[in-house]
Amino acid sequence: MTYILGIESSCDETAASVTLDGRKVLSDVVYSQADIHKKYGGVVPEIASRNHILCVTQVIEEAIGKAGIQKEDLSAVAATVRPGLIGALLVGLSAAKGFAYAIGKPLVPVNHLHGHIAANYIANPDLKPPFICLVASGGHSHVVEVTDYNEFTVLGATMDDAAGEAFDKVARVLGLGYPGGPLVSKCAEDGKASIPFPRPVQGLDFSFSGVKTAVINHVHRLEQKGEPIIKEDIAASFQAAIVDVLTSVTIEAAKQKGMKKIALAGGVAANKCLRTSLMEATGENGMEMYMPPLSLCTDNGAMISCAGYYAYQSGMRAPLSQNAIASL
Ligand code: KG4
Ligand code: ZN
């Protein structure tokens, strides 16, 4: 029996979780700072670090308590080491180091995006590599070929903005608030996708900065002409552009690789429109679709614990001198 404690602090969620043998979640504690950053319209790195410091120990203790195990039962401590906000990452990683050292167990480094992909293993006990995974979060958007539990090949990626970043920026332009993804999505429910925003794709790479600029220009034009700004239609049209691009590159990647299994990961995976679009497209192409429940799409500790389990099994270890790394 392998119990792994997973610790996540790469952005504005302080999270810890204990899993058993990778896929059974015994506890999953997430403390979100979203309400704190809301008033600034986005995550303020310095404030994020300070708030991680305030609650990281409590979140870890709660995760172990809820799992109903003793610290000594843990096989290893896994922590997100990259990518993310450097100050935020350092808090979770330092806590993980101290904890691992105190209980005399190894420290396992986890890439945050591998964690997002691993959320699919928790939700689908039968899912095994290889498969194609669309990873769309606030900072990254990639089409990944998952060849094995610890082997990944990036097939396509955004050439500029990440999908979540585009959602957050458009939410700001429309005055909807933060975090933008869920608010744009909610607003879009009452709108018509009637505005043809651009959908640039080059092979398996794509771009979202043009869509964002097109939304900004569209709003400015309406303002200058004194015409009404129907936020709902703009949100629905923007969302349709993003979803079309992400769906088409994912299906194309699967076709090119002859892959029949597709998974979805990252905060943007919580988008209902994207989930429906991929379900339909995979169905039409005779492919199987896997996606985590909404709670496992946005940042959490269970996905880090699960990815940590597979890294631990393959012998991956981090020294106590392990640094956090902001980049992918
Ligand atoms: O994966 P995540 O929690 O953090 C990062 O690793 O970046 O993703 C956060 C991103 C934010 O940009 C947020 O606006 C977006 O995911 N997001 C959504 C939805 N829920 C969260 N985007 C679109 N639709 C949603 N329902
Ligand atoms: Zn994330």
**322 in a structural domain:** no
Per-residue pLDDT tens for 189-221?
Answer: 999 999 999 999 999 999 999 999 999 999 999
Give me the number of domains the chain comprises: 2
**20 in a structural domain:** yes
**318 in a structural domain:** no
Quick one: 151 and 29 in the same domain? no
- Our mutation pick for probing the ligand 1 site, out of 10, 33, 268, 294, counting the most ligand atoms within 8 A of Cβ, is 268
Cα–ligand 2 centroid distance for 68 (angstroms): 27
pLDDT the model gives residue 95 = 98
Quick one: 26 and 169 in the same domain? no
* Pocket of ligand 1 contains residue 137 by CB under 6 Å: yes
- Tell me the mean pLDDT per 10 residues along the chain, length 328: 98 98 98 95 96 98 98 98 98 98 98 98 97 96 98 98 96 94 98 98 97 97 97 98 98 98 98 98 98 97 98 98 96
**325 in a structural domain:** no
Choose among 167, 135, 128, 132: nearest CA to 149: 128
Is the pTM value of this prediction over 0.95? yes
**319 in a structural domain:** no
Quick one: 309 and 178 in the same domain? no
Quick one: 11 and 105 in the same domain? yes
* Pocket of ligand 1 contains residue 266 by CB under 6 Å: yes
Task: For the beta carbon of residue 276, count every other beta carbon within 10 angstroms.
Answer: 12
Quick one: 84 and 172 in the same domain? no
Cα–ligand 1 centroid distance for 179 (angstroms): 8
Quick one: 67 and 156 in the same domain? no
Quick one: 20 and 161 in the same domain? no
pLDDT the model gives residue 182 = 97
Range of the domain at 304: 3-118+297-313
**124 in a structural domain:** no
Quick one: 156 and 267 in the same domain? yes
Per-residue pLDDT tens for 59-87?
Answer: 999 999 999 999 999 999 999 999 999 99
**138 in a structural domain:** yes
Q: What is the CATH number of the domain that holds 99?
A: 3.30.420.40
Quick one: 212 and 110 in the same domain? no
> Cis (ω within 30 of 0) for the bond into 179?
yes
What residues have CB less than 8 Å from 128, skipping those under 6 apart? Answer: none
* Pocket of ligand 1 contains residue 33 by CB under 6 Å: no
Choose among 151, 102, 113: nearest CA to 316: 151
- Our mutation pick for probing the ligand 1 site, out of 11, 43, 137, counting the most ligand atoms within 8 A of Cβ, is 137
- Our mutation pick for probing the ligand 1 site, out of 30, 187, 298, counting the most ligand atoms within 8 A of Cβ, is 298
Quick one: 165 and 265 in the same domain? yes
**214 in a structural domain:** yes
pLDDT the model gives residue 128 = 98
pLDDT the model gives residue 242 = 98
